[in-house]
Protein backbone atom coordinates (compact mmCIF):
# COMPACT_ATOMS: atom_id res chain seq x y z
CA UNK A 1 0.00 0.00 0.00
CA UNK A 2 2.54 2.55 1.20
CA UNK A 3 2.79 6.06 -0.07
CA UNK A 4 2.74 7.68 3.35
CA UNK A 5 6.50 8.12 3.55
CA UNK A 6 7.60 5.28 5.84
CA UNK A 7 8.58 1.75 4.96
CA UNK A 8 6.38 -0.93 6.45
CA UNK A 9 8.82 -3.68 7.34
CA UNK A 10 7.64 -7.19 8.07
CA UNK A 11 3.93 -7.38 7.28
CA UNK A 12 2.03 -9.12 10.01
CA UNK A 13 -0.59 -11.69 9.05
CA UNK A 14 -4.04 -10.25 8.44
CA UNK A 15 -6.22 -10.90 11.46
CA UNK A 16 -9.50 -9.49 10.19
CA UNK A 17 -12.35 -11.09 8.32
CA UNK A 18 -12.27 -11.52 4.57
CA UNK A 19 -16.06 -11.39 4.45
CA UNK A 20 -16.73 -15.06 4.05
CA UNK A 21 -18.73 -17.14 6.49
CA UNK A 22 -18.01 -14.84 9.43
CA UNK A 23 -19.68 -11.85 7.78
CA UNK A 24 -22.87 -13.83 7.25
CA UNK A 25 -23.37 -13.88 11.03
CA UNK A 26 -23.86 -10.09 11.09
CA UNK A 27 -27.03 -8.50 9.75
CA UNK A 28 -26.73 -5.66 7.26
CA UNK A 29 -27.47 -2.53 9.29
CA UNK A 30 -25.52 0.19 7.49
CA UNK A 31 -24.62 1.22 3.96
CA UNK A 32 -22.06 3.80 2.89
CA UNK A 33 -23.93 7.06 2.23
CA UNK A 34 -24.47 8.61 -1.19
CA UNK A 35 -21.88 11.21 -2.20
CA UNK A 36 -22.32 14.24 -4.45
CA UNK A 37 -18.96 15.34 -5.74
CA UNK A 38 -18.49 19.00 -6.59
CA UNK A 39 -16.47 19.31 -9.79
CA UNK A 40 -15.18 22.81 -9.07
CA UNK A 41 -11.78 22.20 -10.61
CA UNK A 42 -11.39 25.07 -13.06
CA UNK A 43 -8.18 27.06 -13.22
CA UNK A 44 -7.64 28.80 -9.89
CA UNK A 45 -4.91 30.30 -7.71
CA UNK A 46 -2.50 27.69 -6.37
CA UNK A 47 -3.89 27.28 -2.84
CA UNK A 48 -7.47 27.15 -4.04
CA UNK A 49 -6.58 24.61 -6.73
CA UNK A 50 -4.70 22.34 -4.32
CA UNK A 51 -7.54 22.40 -1.82
CA UNK A 52 -10.16 21.74 -4.52
CA UNK A 53 -8.29 18.76 -5.98
CA UNK A 54 -7.70 17.26 -2.54
CA UNK A 55 -11.38 17.65 -1.69
CA UNK A 56 -12.39 16.06 -5.00
CA UNK A 57 -10.15 13.04 -4.39
CA UNK A 58 -11.45 12.64 -0.83
CA UNK A 59 -15.01 12.64 -2.15
CA UNK A 60 -14.05 10.24 -4.95
CA UNK A 61 -12.93 7.61 -2.45
CA UNK A 62 -16.27 7.87 -0.66
CA UNK A 63 -18.08 7.95 -4.01
CA UNK A 64 -16.53 4.58 -4.85
CA UNK A 65 -17.92 3.17 -1.59
CA UNK A 66 -21.44 4.61 -1.72
CA UNK A 67 -24.32 2.20 -1.31
CA UNK A 68 -22.16 -0.73 -0.21
CA UNK A 69 -22.72 -2.63 3.02
CA UNK A 70 -20.08 -3.06 5.67
CA UNK A 71 -19.69 -6.63 4.46
CA UNK A 72 -19.05 -5.54 0.88
CA UNK A 73 -16.63 -2.84 1.99
CA UNK A 74 -14.59 -5.55 3.73
CA UNK A 75 -14.24 -7.71 0.63
CA UNK A 76 -10.58 -8.27 -0.25
CA UNK A 77 -9.19 -7.91 -3.75
CA UNK A 78 -7.18 -11.07 -4.44
CA UNK A 79 -5.01 -13.20 -2.14
CA UNK A 80 -2.60 -12.52 -0.56
CA UNK A 81 -3.49 -8.80 -0.69
CA UNK A 82 -5.34 -7.27 2.26
CA UNK A 83 -6.66 -4.49 0.01
CA UNK A 84 -10.32 -3.57 0.54
CA UNK A 85 -12.44 -0.44 0.23
CA UNK A 86 -12.85 -0.16 4.00
CA UNK A 87 -9.10 -0.62 4.37
CA UNK A 88 -8.53 2.25 1.94
CA UNK A 89 -10.86 4.52 3.92
CA UNK A 90 -9.02 3.66 7.13
CA UNK A 91 -5.62 4.05 5.46
CA UNK A 92 -6.44 7.50 4.14
CA UNK A 93 -7.75 8.60 7.54
CA UNK A 94 -4.38 7.53 8.94
CA UNK A 95 -2.46 9.35 6.19
CA UNK A 96 -4.48 12.55 6.69
CA UNK A 97 -3.63 12.52 10.40
CA UNK A 98 0.05 11.73 9.92
CA UNK A 99 0.87 14.31 7.25
CA UNK A 100 -1.28 17.29 8.22
CA UNK A 101 -1.51 17.00 12.00
CA UNK A 102 1.45 14.98 13.26
CA UNK A 103 4.17 15.96 10.77
CA UNK A 104 3.19 19.42 9.53
CA UNK A 105 1.18 20.50 12.57
CA UNK A 106 3.60 18.88 15.07
CA UNK A 107 0.64 17.65 17.12
CA UNK A 108 1.40 14.96 19.69
CA UNK A 109 -1.15 12.36 18.63
CA UNK A 110 -1.43 8.59 18.67
CA UNK A 111 -1.63 6.74 15.38
CA UNK A 112 -5.09 5.55 14.39
CA UNK A 113 -6.36 1.97 14.66
CA UNK A 114 -3.65 0.80 17.05
CA UNK A 115 -1.01 1.05 14.34
CA UNK A 116 1.74 1.39 16.94
CA UNK A 117 1.26 -2.34 17.57
CA UNK A 118 0.50 -3.41 13.98
CA UNK A 119 1.62 -1.05 11.25
CA UNK A 120 -0.82 -2.70 8.84
CA UNK A 121 -3.84 -2.52 11.14
CA UNK A 122 -5.56 -0.04 8.82
CA UNK A 123 -5.91 -2.84 6.25
CA UNK A 124 -5.68 -5.95 8.40
CA UNK A 125 -8.07 -5.28 11.26
CA UNK A 126 -11.33 -4.49 9.50
CA UNK A 127 -14.79 -5.69 10.49
CA UNK A 128 -18.16 -4.85 8.90
CA UNK A 129 -19.63 -3.75 12.23
CA UNK A 130 -17.04 -0.98 12.44
CA UNK A 131 -17.58 0.43 8.95
CA UNK A 132 -19.73 3.42 9.94
CA UNK A 133 -17.34 4.40 12.73
CA UNK A 134 -14.40 4.12 10.31
CA UNK A 135 -16.17 6.37 7.80
CA UNK A 136 -16.89 8.88 10.58
CA UNK A 137 -13.20 8.78 11.54
CA UNK A 138 -12.19 9.45 7.95
CA UNK A 139 -14.46 12.48 7.65
CA UNK A 140 -13.29 13.82 11.02
CA UNK A 141 -9.63 13.44 10.07
CA UNK A 142 -10.19 15.29 6.79
CA UNK A 143 -11.82 18.18 8.68
CA UNK A 144 -9.03 18.24 11.26
CA UNK A 145 -6.40 18.13 8.51
CA UNK A 146 -7.97 21.18 6.89
CA UNK A 147 -7.99 22.91 10.26
CA UNK A 148 -4.29 22.11 10.78
CA UNK A 149 -3.41 23.69 7.43
CA UNK A 150 -5.74 26.70 7.69
CA UNK A 151 -3.91 30.02 7.97
CA UNK A 152 -0.52 28.55 7.13
CA UNK A 153 1.48 29.49 4.07
CA UNK A 154 2.18 26.83 1.45
CA UNK A 155 5.84 27.80 1.92
CA UNK A 156 5.82 26.97 5.64
CA UNK A 157 8.44 24.31 6.24
CA UNK A 158 8.86 21.38 8.60
CA UNK A 159 11.48 18.71 9.04
CA UNK A 160 10.99 14.98 8.69
CA UNK A 161 13.96 12.68 9.22
CA UNK A 162 16.42 15.35 8.18
CA UNK A 163 14.44 16.31 5.07
CA UNK A 164 12.94 19.80 4.79
CA UNK A 165 9.42 19.80 3.33
CA UNK A 166 6.72 22.45 3.05
CA UNK A 167 2.93 22.50 3.20
CA UNK A 168 2.74 22.67 -0.59
CA UNK A 169 4.58 19.32 -0.72
CA UNK A 170 2.02 17.81 1.67
CA UNK A 171 -0.91 18.85 -0.56
CA UNK A 172 0.77 17.47 -3.67
CA UNK A 173 1.71 14.24 -1.91
CA UNK A 174 -1.83 13.77 -0.61
CA UNK A 175 -3.34 14.30 -4.07
CA UNK A 176 -0.89 11.71 -5.45
CA UNK A 177 -1.74 9.30 -2.63
CA UNK A 178 -5.47 9.57 -3.25
CA UNK A 179 -5.04 9.28 -7.02
CA UNK A 180 -3.22 5.98 -6.61
CA UNK A 181 -5.65 4.52 -4.11
CA UNK A 182 -8.72 5.75 -5.99
CA UNK A 183 -7.45 3.66 -8.88
CA UNK A 184 -7.43 0.68 -6.53
CA UNK A 185 -10.95 1.64 -5.43
CA UNK A 186 -12.13 1.60 -9.07
CA UNK A 187 -11.10 -2.01 -9.43
CA UNK A 188 -12.38 -3.09 -6.03
CA UNK A 189 -15.81 -1.57 -6.68
CA UNK A 190 -16.11 -3.17 -10.10
CA UNK A 191 -15.19 -6.55 -8.63
CA UNK A 192 -17.86 -6.24 -5.90
CA UNK A 193 -20.90 -5.31 -7.99
CA UNK A 194 -19.77 -4.35 -11.48
CA UNK A 195 -20.18 -0.60 -10.97
CA UNK A 196 -17.70 1.50 -12.93
CA UNK A 197 -17.20 5.20 -13.59
CA UNK A 198 -14.98 8.14 -12.73
What string of DSSP letters covers the chain? ---SSS---SPPPP-S--SSTTGGGS----BPPP-------SS--HHHHHHHHHHHHHHHHHHHHTT-BHHHHT--SSTT----HHHHHHHHHHHHIIIIIIIIS----PPGGGTTT-TTHHHHS--GGGHHHHHHHHHHHHHHHHHHHTT--TT-EEEETTEEEEHHHHHHHHHHHHHHHHHHHHHHHHHHH-----
Does 140 reside within a domain? yes
Does 21 reside within a domain? no
Give the pLDDT confidence score for residue 182 in this predicted structure.
Answer: 97
Does 31 reside within a domain? no
Total count of domains within the chain: 1
Does 19 reside within a domain? no
Give the pLDDT confidence score for residue 198 in this predicted structure.
Answer: 79
Question: Which residue ranges of the chain lie beneath pLDDT 50?
Answer: 1-24, 26
Give the pLDDT confidence score for residue 25 in this predicted structure.
Answer: 52
Does 26 reside within a domain? no
Does 187 reside within a domain? yes
pLDDT digits (tens, 9 = 90+) for 149-159: 999 999 999 99
Give the pLDDT confidence score for residue 39 in this predicted structure.
Answer: 78
Which CATH number do you get for residue 144? 1.20.120.450
Give the range of the structural domain holding residue 78, as residue numbers without chain letter.
45-193
Does 20 reside within a domain? no
Does 198 reside within a domain? no
Amino acid sequence: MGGYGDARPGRKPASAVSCGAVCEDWPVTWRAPEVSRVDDLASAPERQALEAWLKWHRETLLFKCQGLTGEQLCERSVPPSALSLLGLVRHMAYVERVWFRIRFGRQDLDLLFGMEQNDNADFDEIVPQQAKADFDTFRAECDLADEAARGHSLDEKFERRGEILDLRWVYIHMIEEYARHNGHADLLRERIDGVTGD
